[in-house]
A = this chain, B = another copy of it.
Amino acid sequence: MSTRPLDPTRDARILDAVLELIAEAGYVSMTIDAVAARSGTSKATIYRRWRNKHEIALAAMTRYHGRHTSWSVDTGTFRGDLAAHTRRFAEVLNGFDGRLAVGLVQARASDPELLDELETRFSSGARLPPEVIERAVARGELSGPVDAGLFEEVVASVLFMRWMWRLPMDAGFLDHVVDDLAVPVLTAGSRAAS
């Protein structure tokens, strides 16, 4: 494929290639040569737009993040809402996002800014919308308000570790996360706050 300077989809193609290569082999192994080959462009084209590997990875992450939208569901019970959000995060993790996260973790020491971007992306994937808490309080399932961030902290961490160790993330495990971890932590937080 030849380089087309005015192709509006070229940047997108390059940035998609960056993320794919990070997810496949990791940030350390990702090279501008490989990005050029994968996206059908040239190194010269890439270097006219981004100065280095750090800049192009950051641009790719920022664009990718922008594609994600928040998600919310009302199942009628607090337990049901927590289970739905836990299942959804497990799906996110089992897809491209999980491989991308592992590919980027190795940048922890060399590229903290990239890790910050990943953290923003990753944590938002497990975010519990505040209305889940509000509805539970209204139904009398929680005695008062609680920081919804506790859900994200526990569920994103426990699921990520489980995924990292390649242990089964089946329905039984997800029920355990909801009943033995998420519900007790949010209930205790609610009691402490009220």
The residues of A with any CB-CB pair to B shorter than 8 Å are: 25-26, 28-29, 99, 102-103, 105-106, 108-109, 112, 115-116, 119, 150, 153-154, 156-158, 160-161, 164-167, 180-181, 183-185, 187-189, 192
Contact = CB atoms under 8 A, between A and B. Distances in A.
A103 B106 CA distance: 7
A164 B185 CA distance: 22
Contacts of A158: 153-154, 157-158
Contact of A184 (B112, B115, B187): B187
30 contacts: A26-B106, A28-B28, A28-B106, A102-B108, A103-B106, A105-B106, A105-B164, A108-B166, A112-B166, A115-B164, A115-B165, A119-B165, A150-B181, A153-B158, A153-B161, A153-B181, A154-B158, A154-B181, A157-B160, A158-B158, A160-B161, A180-B185, A183-B188, A184-B184, A184-B185, A184-B187, A184-B189, A185-B185, A187-B188, A188-B188
Contacts of A160: 157, 161
A112 B10 CA distance: 36
Contact of A157 (B28, B112, B150, B161): B161
